Amino acid sequence: MIESIIAGLIVGSGYAIIGVSLVLLNRFTGVLNFSQGAIGAMGAFTGYALIAMGAPIFIATLVGIVIAGLLGFFVGWVLTHFFADSTTTVRAVITITVLIALLTLGFRLFGDSPMLMPDVIPKTFFDVGSVRVSTTTVVAIGLTAVISVCISLFLKHSTLGSKYIAMSESHIAAQLLGINTLLLSLSAWLFLGMLSAIAGFLVAPTYNPSFASLSLLVVPALAAGVLGAFKNIWVVTTGGLLIGAVEGAGARINWLSEYRGMIPFIIILITLIWIRRKQVWDAVR
Amino acid sequence: MKHKFKVGLVVSVTAMLFLSSCVSEQSQSGDNKSKETIKIGAVSSITGPYPFPEVPAAAAAVFDRVNDSGGIQGRLIEFISEDDGADPAIAAQAGRRLVDEVGVVALSGSASMVDCTTNGTFYTQNNVMSLTGTGVEGTCFEMPNIAPVNNGSIQNFASLLQFSATDLEADNVCAVILTVPGLTDAYLEVISDWEANFNKKIALVDTSVIHGEDPTPAILATKNADCDAVIFNSNEPVAAAFMNAVKNQNMLDSSAWLTISAAYTDSAIGVLNKQNSLGLYVGSEFVPFTTDDPALSQWRKTLTEANVPLTSLSIGGYVSAELLVDAIKSINGPITRESVTEALRSPEGFNNELLGEKFLIGDAEAHNPNTASMVVQANADGWEVVSNWIFMP
């Protein structure tokens, strides 16, 4: 059971990082980006394709991260330029279209042949009691925490961070204060795209994903986002790791194992009902 | 007005050029063939999510070779290979065009994600046989007029169960079925058939992981069940991913790992080697293509000349074409759809040196004529043959 939970934690760190990207992007730009996972997957798979062609791991990883960043930047540019006045729903639907397009493209490019996915971080193992733990797990959890800490510190204690916070409160007010919201939005798209590729590289060697399954990490990541009410990145981080762990544990419970893919959805549902309970009860009263 | 006239002139000249080119093409092809050609068709997924271009290409290479040596009964073979793009609607159109309009005498070298399911009944209604090069769908093995030359994933899985129990002498044989819509029940059925036929009991059947997702939970389940041999179903990329997960759990040596023939490729051994997860056993539905078995030399020569990749899949296309040529050659009298179907159903069957057993179609309602397979193992030097022919009932 513990082995399964540990295996789940690595995937959970992927959920957490993509979840944090989703939440921040939503706060800064008002877009719920369903294609965030696919953007990261495109970066990660490009990196692996380069490794297969003989590129050094470090360079390939870097190129992959940059490509995901540029892809995120491009999607962000399209949304801010052409759909700035559209409703949140329209913009979310556009990101779903992007997701489908990327899934098709990814399948064409990387779908059909076996892919070597070497660890970016050299892997060693150590035993805790009877359980074998890899450094990847430790690094994954550690890196997830570091990313969350850095982002929190950046937002709270830097001028640029304050500008982002101002923008997340109100784009128009921020613009009136002389903040270049377009530049800030696009740089958020760029940075968070890169972050998603990092999640991809972190998860892939253990998760053994296809392009589609790596792209669809966005679903549990959304669940983590909902847990944090799309605000608190600490709850999102913990939530992502927790969902991974619960899925891992679920794999070892016979009656549950075949349905464990539903766990994130059930978590989303229960959380949403919990959040809504007050309004409904108030209305009844 | 002048402008309109010019446009009209350009259009009519273009139309004339086009028409004349059509006419000249027709007359050219007419000159080349003194007698009517023997028309053979194929419906394959040459494009689409899982393309199999080398299967019909290998069949085409065989027909070209036969044509180069004069054809059959002095008639040349005309092979019309259609691409269905894994789309049932296109496959249905292609099947109807080949059978109704072109009037093929048989189909050979097909390898499609959708052809058997879409056109199986149509082939039966028109009494035309399809010697499928690679039967992908389960329905390819359930139709009276379709006879795939490969084992098929289900049959190959059963052979690996048998190999584990007999050759590897595994006490605890386990099955990990990575679920694929519509196939899981067929795997479960073949497992219970195997248990009944050989009086064995399987130690674990795990169906908790969807094909393409992280297989780690299923791999950990086999650890708990103390498996000596684990047979799993996978396509080529998933086989490599599965073995990577096995390696990550440090379980390469804790049991034998076996998967079906789709992973028997050059690119898979490359990845298995690089990711240090060798040792995987894989089924081979024909004489293993990576060996220097003399049976392969003609295949290698024909396909190399035609520039077709040398893979296990291309053996399927090659064998199906050779079997059909043998059947047509055995006909005394006119070569028609009826006579070809009858010849293929001959109770004598046909031998091919790349198959482990006689290829006998007969009058049955469903066909899986090739149940013989071998097993190869991934080693540092490449794929190594580790079994004799394994025959299944």
Query: Which tens digit of pLDDT belongs to each residue from A52-78?
Result: 888 999 999 999 999 999 999 999 999
Mutate which of A124, A137, A208 to test chain B, going by most B C-beta atoms within 10 A? A208
Per the listing, tokens 């990327």 go with: A102
User: Tokens 């296990």 identify what position?
Assistant: B312
Say if B60 is an interface residue toward chain A (CB within 8 Å): no
Question: Who's near B293: CB < 8 A, 6+ residues apart?
Answer: B287
Amino acid identity of residue B200, one-letter, is K
Chain B residues within an 8 Å CB radius of A132: 249-250
Percent of chain A with pLDDT over 90: 39
Measured between alpha carbons, how far is B161 from B195 in angstroms, rounded to an integer? 10
| Alpha helices in chain B, H assignment, sequence order | 2-32, 54-68, 88-96, 115-125, 153-166, 184-198, 216-224, 236-248, 266-274, 297-305, 312-329, 337-344
Distance between CA A147 and CA A15 in Å, rounded?
A: 13
Which of A88, A27, A68 is closest to A225 using CA atoms? A27
pLDDT greater at residue A104 or residue A258: A104
pLDDT band at A174 (very low <50, low <70, confident <90, very high): confident
Closest CA to B281 of B332, B322, B246: B246
Mean pLDDT over B341-348 rounds to 94
Distance from the A80 Cα atom to the nearest Cα atom in chain B, whole angstroms = 33
Would you place residue B25 in the very low, low, confident or very high pLDDT band (cuts 50, 70, 90)?
A: very low
The distance of B97 to chain A (nearest Cα, Å) reads 28
DSSP 8-state secondary structure symbol assigned to residue B111: B
Q: Please report the residues numbered 73 through 112 in chain A whose beta carbons come closer than 8 angstroms to any beta carbon of chain B.
A: 107, 111-112
pLDDT at B21 over 50: no
**A260 and B208 in contact by Cβ < 8 A?**
yes
Give the predicted TM-score (pTM) of the model.
Answer: 0.80
A7 neighbourhood in chain B, CB within 8 Å: 214, 216-217, 220
Using a pLDDT cut of 90, give the percent of chain B over it: 74
Q: Which residues of B1-18 are buried (b: 16+ CB within 10 A; e: fewer)?
A: eeeeeeeeeeeeeeeeee
Predicted pLDDT at A264 = 77
Contact B240 A251 (CB under 8 A): no
The more confidently predicted of residues A136 and B232 is: B232
- Split at pLDDT 50, 70, 90, the class of B6 is low
| A200 or A5: which leads in pLDDT | A200
Between A271 and B111, whose confidence is greater? B111
Q: Which residue of B has its CA nearest to A215?
A: B213
d(C-alpha B364, C-alpha A227), whole Å? 59
| Whether the predicted pLDDT of A26 surpasses 80 | yes
Searching chain A, which residue's CA lies closest to the CA of residue B211?
A: A210
Name the minimum distance, in Å, from the CA of B376 to any CA of chain A.
18
Mean pLDDT for chain B overall: 89
Cβ contact, residue pair A206, B216, below 8 Å: yes
d(CA B347, CA B363): 8
Q: List, for residues B179-216, the tens digit of each pLDDT value.
A: 887 788 889 999 999 999 888 899 999 998 888 888 88
Please name the amino acid found at residue A27: R
Token couple for B337: 């759809």
| Phi, psi dihedrals of residue B302, rounded to the nearest 5° | -60, -45
A232 pLDDT above the threshold of 60: yes
Closest residue to B208, CB basis, from A117, A205, A258: A258
Q: Looking at the predicted structure, is the pLDDT value of residue B48 above 70?
A: yes
pLDDT given at position A133 = 74
From A53-67, A151-165, B154-168, B287-301, the region with the lowest mean pLDDT: A151-165
- Are residues A113 and B237, on separate chains, in Cβ contact within 8 Å? yes
The answer to whether residue B26 scores a pLDDT higher than 70 is no
Rounded distance between C-alpha atoms, residue A63 and residue B137, angstroms: 39
| pLDDT at residue A73, as a whole number | 96
The alpha-helical segments, DSSP class H, found in A119-253 are 135-157, 159-169, 171-176, 181-207, 211-215, 218-227, 233-250
Of A174-183, A230-239, B99-108, the one with minimum mean pLDDT is A174-183
Residue of B nearest to A258 (CA): B208
Helix (H) or strand (E) holding A134: strand A131-134
Inter-chain CB proximity A208 and B241 less than 8 Å:
yes
CA distance B357 to B324: 16
Structural tokens at position A144? 């997830």
Using a pLDDT cut of 70, give the percent of chain A over it.
Answer: 95
Question: Residue A227 has what pLDDT?
Answer: 86
Between CA B270 and CA B290 the distance in angstroms is 13
Q: Which residue has the higher pLDDT, B2 or A139?
A: A139
**pLDDT in the model for residue A120:** 74
Among chain B residues, CA nearest to A111: B49
| Alpha-carbon span A132 to A21, nearest angstrom | 30
Q: How far apart are the first and last CA of chain B?
A: 80
Res A129 pLDDT > 90: no
User: Given a cut of 60, is residue A168 above it in pLDDT?
Assistant: yes
Please report the DSSP string for B11-71 in residue order: HHHHHHHHHHHHHHHHHHHHHH-SS--EEEEEEE-SSSSS--THHHHHHHHHHHHHHHTT-
Which residues of chain B lie closer than 8 angstroms to A112, CB-CB?
Answer: 49-51, 236-237
Tokens matching residue B31:
């000159």
Q: Looking at residues B368-389, what average pLDDT do you find?
A: 95
Work out the average pLDDT over B96-103: 95
Higher pLDDT among residues B24 and B129, named by residue: B129
The reply to whether residue B213 touches residue A125, judged by beta carbons under 8 angstroms, is no
The 10 Å Cβ neighbour count of residue B299 is 25
- Asked whether residue A163 carries a pLDDT value surpassing 70, the answer given is yes
Tens of pLDDT, residue by residue over B280-323, are 999 999 999 999 999 999 999 999 999 999 999 999 999 999 99
* Structural tokens at position B231: 């047979």
From B217, B237, B267, residue closest to A251, measured CB to CB: B217
Contact state of A208 with B267 under an 8 Å Cβ cutoff: no
pLDDT of A83 > 50? The answer is: yes
**Contact between B290 and B379 (Cβ < 8 Å):** no
Residue whose entry in the numeric block shows the structure tokens 């440090």: B250
Provide the β-strand partners of residue B374. B284
pLDDT score of A277: 80
Check B217 against A7: CB less than 8 A apart: yes
- Cβ neighbour number for residue A256 with a 10 Å cutoff: 16
Q: Considering CB atoms only, which of B208, B250, B274 is closest to A116?
A: B274
- Kindly state whether B51 is in contact with chain A, defined as any CB-CB distance less than 8 angstroms: yes
Q: Which of B208, B250, B275 sits opposite A251 (nearest CB)?
A: B208
Please check whether residue B248 touches A, CB under 8 A: yes
Max avg pLDDT among A55-69, A112-126, A169-183, A271-285: A55-69
How high is the pLDDT of residue B212? 81
Per DSSP bridges, beta strands B256-259 and B173-176 are unpaired
Q: A126 forms bridges with which residues in the sheet?
A: A133
pLDDT at residue B20 in the model: 44
Residue in A4, A114, A258 nearest the CB of B236:
A114
